[in-house]
């Protein structure tokens, strides 16, 4: 299988590293021999029709941080690479944008129109244009898979759609953002204020320099939309979600909750067609009460009752567990 | 369902046990017994108030019938509505934005009662956090209480933290 890799940040590099690490294992276990034929970032593209030497590309990008500085790189954009470099599948892992969905949206649409499968972790395009993307995939007879976009390593979409395919999923409740869960957990354990705990999380590299996207609830909302559409067959968008962030939570509120047997968690819920992201009082003995950067989601199903899954929501290797599983599923399907 | 039963016993030993026996035999779960020996009724009987959980009306009718056969008078029978409790936290200038008005606006809605409240005020300049315990007569009332609280919160610039599930 030939792959165009679009985006070479934390997730893109993690993908290359995962392939290097698992090359022999993938061949022996599945007879799967993926070749990355192009890697693009915002600076340019490096191409090798016969398959790139991923270790060499990784070490040369490590030095300067830019794909254009790799030997033989061209000033070719990701979009051009998708159009011009022959491949079966595009891995789209560029930075997400929940306002326009770009550049990921154009990458995905162009890839599918060119008959290429798409595997992505990019939330923005899916949260904004889910229907258009899935219809484009259908029209062009290709797969669009995005397990990595919601819940990181937790196999939520595949769990619901494959393993629980006989159940109707009635509601989803979850903690889908590790950064906010870390901040709230620390505030609960240490009794600290929001601002100082956020600074601590930034120093540890858990929160971004600009943490708005996480703490405002936007990231959770984008993931909730993807889960709702993919699992419950809806056509919602990011704009349908009622969103409330965690920036007004006080240590006193957390202490009052604690005295009464509750913790405060940022929870995304979809129930009776309503999508909401808000801090909620969660009973201490409830399965959604997970600590630190962990994520968790509970499905209410018609036959199986409640099913809860806990896991790591972010991180290069964890996200690539989901990306690799999507690619393997396409590989198995296309072999019949 | 939960039932409240006012019964009247003859003022002789062993009557209470005679009254309870058919209740438990017919599947009733006794929640509480209030037995005041000093306050006899005009007819010289001992009033007892029972609260029981029971499966259905049929079982209740059989219990009342058996009590009658044992010369235990049933003076009042009624379903006890179980109240739902819901916790909510408000953050902001909860007191300065007329706390009395916030509580009144909730209490004005039939079936909703602010039953308890705990406040935490770090200092007068900073925002106050308040844990509110709201009693609702039916689960649907919880939604009503929340939407009114959200309206109040918008008017007064407060943040609302709801319980999971409402």
Write the DSSP assignment of A46-77 as a string of letters: EE-TT---HHHHHHHHHHHS-GGGSTT-BS--
For the purposes of burial, counting CB atoms within 10 Å of the CB of B140, is it exposed (0-12), middle (13-18) or buried (19 or more)? Answer: exposed
Asked if residue A240 and residue A190 are part of one domain, the reply reads yes
Q: What is the mean pLDDT of residues A233-259?
A: 96
Contact B131 A244 (CB under 8 A): no
Percent of chain A with pLDDT over 90: 91
CA of A274: which chain B residue's CA is closest? B166
Q: Which pLDDT tens digit goes with each residue over A66-105? A: 999 999 999 999 999 999 999 999 999 999 998 999 999 9
Q: How far is A28 from chain B (nearest CA, A)?
A: 47
Asked if residue A223 and residue A307 are part of one domain, the reply reads yes
Asked if residue A262 and residue A188 are part of one domain, the reply reads yes
Q: Does the CB of A281 have a partner CB in chain B at under 8 Å?
A: yes
Distance CA B131, CA A260 (A): 9
Asked if residue A251 and residue A204 are part of one domain, the reply reads yes
* Strand partners for B131: B89, B118
Q: Which pLDDT tens digit goes with each residue over B34-46? A: 987 778 888 889 9
User: Is B124's pLDDT higher than 90?
Assistant: no
In this prediction, residue A279 has a pLDDT band, given cuts at 50, 70 and 90, of very high
* Average pLDDT in chain B: 90
Q: What is the mean pLDDT of residues B11-40?
A: 88
User: Is A210's pLDDT higher than 80?
Assistant: yes
Res A72: pLDDT: 92
Q: What is the mean pLDDT of residues B105-132?
A: 92
Asked if residue A199 and residue A215 are part of one domain, the reply reads yes
Asked if residue A207 and residue A283 are part of one domain, the reply reads yes
Closest by CA to A236, choosing from A223, A226, A246, A244, is: A226
Residue A116 belongs to domain spanning: 2-152+316-334
CB B11 within 8 A of CB B45: yes
Asked if residue A177 and residue A148 are part of one domain, the reply reads no
CATH code of residue A56: 3.40.50.720
Backbone CA torsion sign across A273, A138, A161, A21: negative
Q: Does the CB of A262 have a partner CB in chain B at under 8 Å?
A: yes
Name, in order, each residue with C-beta under 8 angstroms of B23's C-beta and a sequence gap of 6 or more. Answer: B30, B50, B52, B63
Q: Residue with structure tokens 């809605």?
A: B109
Closest by CA to A316, choosing from A110, A5, A13, A6, is: A13
Chain A window 44-73: which residues touch B at a Cβ cutoff of 8 Å?
Answer: none
Asked if residue A147 and residue A32 are part of one domain, the reply reads yes
Distances (CA, A) of B96 to A37, A73, A210, B156: 65, 64, 33, 9
Chain A residues within 8 A of B163 when measuring between CB atoms: 262, 280-281
Q: Residue with structure tokens 């890697």?
A: A39
Q: Which pLDDT tens digit goes with each residue over A6-42? A: 999 999 999 999 999 999 999 999 999 999 999 999 9
Q: How far is B165 from chain A (nearest CA, A)?
A: 9
In this prediction, residue A316 has a pLDDT band, given cuts at 50, 70 and 90, of confident
User: Is B119's pLDDT higher than 60?
Assistant: yes
Distance CA A212, CA B163 (A): 24
In this prediction, residue A336 has a pLDDT band, given cuts at 50, 70 and 90, of low
Say if strands B2-9 and A305-312 run parallel, antiparallel, or are unpaired: unpaired
Going along chain A, which residue ranges are E strands? Answer: 2-6, 35-40, 45-47, 89-92, 117-120, 144-145, 169-175, 242-243, 262-271, 274-283, 294-301, 305-312
Question: What CATH number has the domain spanning B84-161?
Answer: 3.30.70.260
**Crossing angle between the packed helical segments A178-190 and A194-203, to the nearest 10 degrees:** 120
Q: Does the CB of A117 have a partner CB in chain B at under 8 Å?
A: no
Distances (CA, A) of A315 to A7, A206, A320, A333: 15, 10, 8, 28
User: Is B100's pLDDT higher than 60?
Assistant: yes
Distance CA A197, CA B79 (A): 51
Please give the backbone phi and psi of residue A248, each rounded to the nearest 5 degrees, phi first: -95, 0
Fold of B2-79: Alpha-Beta Plaits (3.30.70)
* Average pLDDT in chain A: 95
| Active site positions of A, annotated | 223
Total number of domains in chain A: 2
Asked if residue A320 and residue A307 are part of one domain, the reply reads no
For the CA atoms of chain A, what is the radius of gyration?
A: 20
Identity of the residue in B126, B129, B164 whose CB atom sits nearest the CB atom of A280: B164
User: How does DSSP classify residue B127?
Assistant: P
Identity of the residue in A249, A257, A283 whose CB atom sits nearest the CB atom of B131: A257
In this prediction, residue A142 has a pLDDT band, given cuts at 50, 70 and 90, of very high
Q: Does the CB of A286 have a partner CB in chain B at under 8 Å?
A: yes
User: Is A248's pLDDT higher than 80?
Assistant: yes
Contact A260 B87 (CB under 8 A): yes
* ipTM of the modeled complex: 0.83
CA of B162: which chain A residue's CA is closest? A280
Low-confidence winner among A57-61, B115-119, B141-145 (lowest mean pLDDT): B141-145
Asked if residue A166 and residue A113 are part of one domain, the reply reads no
Asked if residue A268 and residue A216 are part of one domain, the reply reads yes
Q: How far is B121 from chain A (nearest CA, A)?
A: 8
Chain B residues within 8 Å of chain A (Cβ atoms): 87-89, 91-92, 118, 120-122, 126-131, 159, 161-164
Say if strands B46-53 and B29-35 run parallel, antiparallel, or are unpaired: antiparallel
Identity of the residue in A248, A259, A288 whose CB atom sits nearest the CB atom of B164: A288
For the CA atoms of chain B, what is the radius of gyration?
A: 23
Res B59: pLDDT: 87
In this prediction, residue B7 has a pLDDT band, given cuts at 50, 70 and 90, of very high
Asked if residue A184 and residue A77 are part of one domain, the reply reads no
Chain B residues within 8 A of A279 when measuring between CB atoms: 161
pTM of the entire predicted model? 0.81
CA of B158: which chain A residue's CA is closest? A248
């Amino acid at each position: 299988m030939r792959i165009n890799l679009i985006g070479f940040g934390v997730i893109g590099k993690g993908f290359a590293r995962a392939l290097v690490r698992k090359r022999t294992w993938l061949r022996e276990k599945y007879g799967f021999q993926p070749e990355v034929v192009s890697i693009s970032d915002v600076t340019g593209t490096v191409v090798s029709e016969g398959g790139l030497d991923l270790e060499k590309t990784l070490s040369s990008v490590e030095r300067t941080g830019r794909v254009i500085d790799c030997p033989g790189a061209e000033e070719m954009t990701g979009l051009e690479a998708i159009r011009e470099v022959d491949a079966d599948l595009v891995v789209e892992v560029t930075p997400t944008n929940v306002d326009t969905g770009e550049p990921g949206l154009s990458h995905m649409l162009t890839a599918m129109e060119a008959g290429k499968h798409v595997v992505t972790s990019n939330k923005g395009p899916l949260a904004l244009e889910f229907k258009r993307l899935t219809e484009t995939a259908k029209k062009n007879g290709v797969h669009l898979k995005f397990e990595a976009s919601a819940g990181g390593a937790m196999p939520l979409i595949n769990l619901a759609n494959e393993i629980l395919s006989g159940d109707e999923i009635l509601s989803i409740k979850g903690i889908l953002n590790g950064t906010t869960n870390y901040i709230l957990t620390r505030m609960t354990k240490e009794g600290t204020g929001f601002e100082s705990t956020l600074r601590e999380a930034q120093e540890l590299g858990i929160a971004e320099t600009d943490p708005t996207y996480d703490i405002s609830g936007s990231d959770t909302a984008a993931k909730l939309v993807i889960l709702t559409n993919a699992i419950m067959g809806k056509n919602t968008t990011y704009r349908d979600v009622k969103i409330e962030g965690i920036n007004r939570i006080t240590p006193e509120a957390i202490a009052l909750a604690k005295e009464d047997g509750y913790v405060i968690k940022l929870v995304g819920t979809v129930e009776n067609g309503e999508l909401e992201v808000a801090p909620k009082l969660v009973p201490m003995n409830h399965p959604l009460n997970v600590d630190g950067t962990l994520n968790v989601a509970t499905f209410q199903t018609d036959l199986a009752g409640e099913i809860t899954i806990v896991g790591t929501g972010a991180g290069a290797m964890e996200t690539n567990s989901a990306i690799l599983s999507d690619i393997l599923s396409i590989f198995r399907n296309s072999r019949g | 369902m939960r039932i409240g039963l006012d019964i009247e016993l003859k003022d002789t030993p062993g009557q209470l046990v005679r009254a309870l026996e058919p209740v438990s035999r017919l599947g009733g779960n006794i929640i509480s017994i209030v037995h005041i020996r000093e306050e006899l009724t005009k007819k010289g009987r001992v009033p007892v108030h029972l609260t029981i959980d029971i499966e259905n009306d049929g079982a209740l009718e059989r219990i009342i019938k058996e009590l009658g056969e044992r010369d235990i008078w049933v003076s009042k029978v009624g379903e006890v509505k179980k109240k739902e409790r819901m916790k909510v936290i408000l953050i902001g200038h909860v007191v300065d934005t007329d706390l009395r008005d916030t509580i009144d606006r909730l209490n004005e809605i039939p079936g909703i009662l602010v039953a308890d409240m705990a406040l935490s005020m770090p200092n007068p300049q900073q925002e106050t956090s308040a844990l509110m315990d709201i009693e609702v007569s039916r689960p649907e009332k919880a939604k009503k209480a929340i939407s009114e609280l959200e309206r109040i919160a918008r008017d007064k610039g407060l943040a609302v933290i709801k319980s999971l599930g409402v």
